[in-house]
Each structure stands twice: as C-alpha cells, then as structure tokens.
Structure 1
C-alpha cells in the first residue's frame, strides 16, 4: 500500500475529528440566538391556489419571507407616523377637528404670541433704560470714552421702543380678541423703526472695534467693569439673568430689530384668515422684513465705500504699492534688475 495515500487518509480523518469536536464545543447560547433569530423573522403566507385547501398546521413550504423592500416601506411608514408635528400643523392636519375647533385653537395661540410680543418689547425697553442710566450716563459724565461713537443713538432707539410699547399696550387694551389689531401698530411705526435701527446697525461694527481698543487700556476697562457690576446688581435683585458685558449691551438693539419678523410671522400664522388683523399683520411682516433688508443693504454699501477708501489711502504708501504688484510684474522687474547687475559686474556685455 502506498504510504502517501495512508498519510493523506490519516490527515483527512484528523480534520473530520476536529470539525466534530468544534461542533460539540460550540456555545449553547450561540445556537439559541441563531434559533431565536430564525423564529422572529417576518414571514407571510404565499398567495397560491395550491395552498387554499390546506387546513390545520401551516406548511412551512407555503411561507415566504417578507422582502427587504417591504421591510423598508414598513419602516418608512412607521417613522412617518411617529414623527412629531408642530402645534399649528397638527391642528391643521387633524381631520377630526371641525373648523370651529381649529379656529379656537389658533386664537388661543395668537393670544400667547401677542403676550410674548408685548412682554419682550417691555423687557427690551427696560434693558435699554438701565443701560443708559447705569452705563451710558456715568461714562459720559466721567468723559473717559467717546460715548456717542460707542453707543451711537441708543437713546433714540430707547425712545422709539417706548413709543412702540405704548401703542402695543393701547392696542391690547381691547377686550374683544376678535377686534384686536396688532398689524396696524407696526405699519405706523415702520418709518421710525427703520430710521433709528438703520443708524445704530450702520455704526455697530465701528462701535465694536472701538470697544476692543478701549478694553486694551486698563483704566478704561476698570470704568467699564464698574458700570457693568452696578447693572448686574440690579438684575440680581430682580432675579434676571446677568451674564452681561459691554459687548452684550451693544448687541441688544441689533438682536431686537432682527426679532420683529420672527414674532410677526408667528403671530400671522396663528391668526385666522377671516380675522381683521390677518391682512394688516401680513403687511406688517413684509414691512419688518424690508426694514432688515434695507439695514443690510445700507451696511453693505458702507463696507464697499470703506473698502475703496482704504484702497485709495494705501495707494501712496509702500504697502499699497506692493499690494498692486502682480506676480508677473514682480518677475519682470526681477529679471530687469538681474540683467542690470550682470552688466555692471561684467558677466554679460552691454548690448549696443
């Protein structure tokens, strides 16, 4: 008998024994998990005429697994059903509610938005008044900084905000919610709002730059800290957040004018279409957006003018001239200078 064949047969038998041993020592919990996974697979009964007369136990041969596309579709529908809806969209999308119930809920939401609008305007006015009293006036009296450049026309913004709040309070004094009109208040205040906020936002970047330069001087910085601390004490007594610094005081008017379109848009969405305030609110929302667009355009033009102004100022300086050089012009000048030096040193003869 061939010894090579005997060796091959022996190695095959050893491999078979190893496979048997591995199957025997396979952990039971792995087998259990495998069986459980098979048990929980989704299956559906095949729609076949040959299985119509089968009674009793279902033959596994007549079952087919749900396809992956069916699982994906089912998962997508489940996510769609479980997705949360916004309050207004849930009201409008609910087929069970009658129009009267939908209108009632919208009016309730409208009342809350009006309260938020009035309250935030009141808080904004209070912040401005405190800033003027505790920061602007003391700094002006000490004459340590240029208050007019730093705070621009904040006092005028405060006056316009006070007038707007007064009109809002007069409008909300109406007891009948069906006759309450807010849109007209902002339509009438559009010109005044745009004038004061345009000036403030126009100078805001310069005010920030000036503030940074002032904060580098220790003496002026201490004056700022003293004023802000007195303001923080007032906020502490009233239980309001007091994470204040000079930068946060300067940014408040900018944040407020950007808030008007958001509040008016939310109020308009919560106002029924047959309410007398629906049309004025839509016009007021458009006006608030136009105010912000005009402010941005005003600032953009200023940036362009300042850019060209800096270019003209730098034109006569060495840095300005260097900035005008292109790589090509620098290379040409370098080649000319190199050739001139070669002629002077005698490396190249001067051409006739």
Structure 2
C-alpha cells in the first residue's frame, strides 16, 4: 500500500465503546486517544472507534457536562471489540448484581467471537452478563469486596492492572484503561505500534501489570523506610548474589527486623521481593533487548537460563522464548 493511499475502512479493527449514564469522561476519552494513535508506518489509522449507548442521544457523565452519542446498540453488532468503561450509575444492576433489562438487551447485540473488555468497574457489567464466571478478572480495588459478594464464581485479583483471558479482558481503575488499550494495540499490531502510540500520548508503553494474557502482580518499590537501603542496593545489583545478611547490613538493621519490615510493607519476605524484582528485570530485557536468554538470566541474577525458565514458568506460565514472542509482536522470535 502506497504511503498516501488510505487503508480501506473495513481493514481497520472496529471498536465500540459502550457508555451509560454516569460514564467517566476520562475512560471514554482514553479509549479514543489510544486507538487513534495506533497507525501504520505510513500514518494510516488501524482502528475505527464508535461510541454507543443503549439509547442514542444525550448521556449524563459523572462530570458537570453531558455527551451526545450518535450510535445505539447496533454499533455493538458492528464491532470487533467492545469496551465497557465504568459508570457511576446505580441503575446498571439491581441489589444482587443482575443486569437491568435495557443493558442486558444492549449486550445481547454483541456478535459471538467479539472481543470484550472492561475498564474499572465496567467489570461488574461483564460479570453480571456471565462473561467472567470461572475466569480470572480484576476491578477497582475499592469495589473488590462488593464484586466478590455479588460474583463469587469469578476469580478476582484486585492487585493487578489488568487480566487478559483472550476474548474477555478486565482492567482496574481509570488509568489502567490506558494499560489495557495499549496492551490491545500491542497484541493486535506488535510492540512497535504500541510504543509509538504511547510515546505520542506521553505515557509508558506498559507498566508493571500491563502484560499480555499473564496476570501480573506489580511489586511496589515503597516509600523511604527501614527497607530502603536494602532495596536500593538490591536494585542496583540484581546480577549479584543478594544474601539476606548483606541486605540487612545495607539497611543497618538485623535480619529479623528487615524481614519484619519487608512483610509489613510488601507482604513478602526479602527473598521473595528480590525474586520479583529479578523477574521484572528479566521481563524488561526479554521485551526490549536482543540479548540471548542465558545473558538475560545472568543480568537478572538467576545465574542460568534453566533457572530463569523455571522462575518464569512458575510465575507466568510461559517460557522466556514464548514470552518474548508475545511481547515483541510480529518480530522474529529469538533463540531461547
């Protein structure tokens, strides 16, 4: 296709954003912004996005202004992907978490095989529709207790930024919608397109937790505290052995005190915290470097490629080569 030749409209991936009264403008806007920035090297749009509502017309937001929506439920039948942002409206479900009839009828317009994703408490809509039963999911941490009470059949993890089940995805609070949408772009068109979109939006291409089809558990760095000396030294020396006694010495406390402090701050032992940091570093190198796996294993402090494979398999359920193929998009896989 010549650079000045527009991509045929049908070749673009079609995204419908389902808004309801009480929609959060930020969540609606970020969907449009991320997909608008996803383009071919020649600058052609890769997505077409339509905003839809159960009833077209004026839709109340949770801000001091409404929006006017031109499309109705038919847009959901048109879409390849449907995204359900949050709504601060009590009318979406009843007191037991069942969908209202209007919203249920709207969702029924979605074609089989359509990819469906939620942002923030939009996950309540997906769960109420039965799309998350027996699956892992996430939602805003403030709503986790209510979500568990209403939807016990869903395996909820409120600590992650998003969860990808392939055909159904959920994300946490508002900003994690950016992570989710960039992840969808990365999944559809590769890391280069997603990174360019993120750069134009002046946001990170991905944060801890925003990874394809893996449930990520971000490890917080934490504020300055008793563990700070140990953490600073460990992060600067991940390629080295990090014995517990030396970690304690770097924080000028006893091993027992350091262990208690780590558990209080992170819910992890010092050794578990270090292993998580090693994994994060290895994942970064797998995504962003051409280093062979044995060198990545050494740089992350796992020593051997065999050790790295074992840790990555235990944490994410994939091998280094499979992880690299996933997150480098259509680029050729490098040797494992």
Give TM-score, length-normalised by structure 1.
0.21
Q: Which has the larger radius of gyration?
A: 1
| More helix, by proportion | 1
Give TM-score, length-normalised by structure 2.
0.22
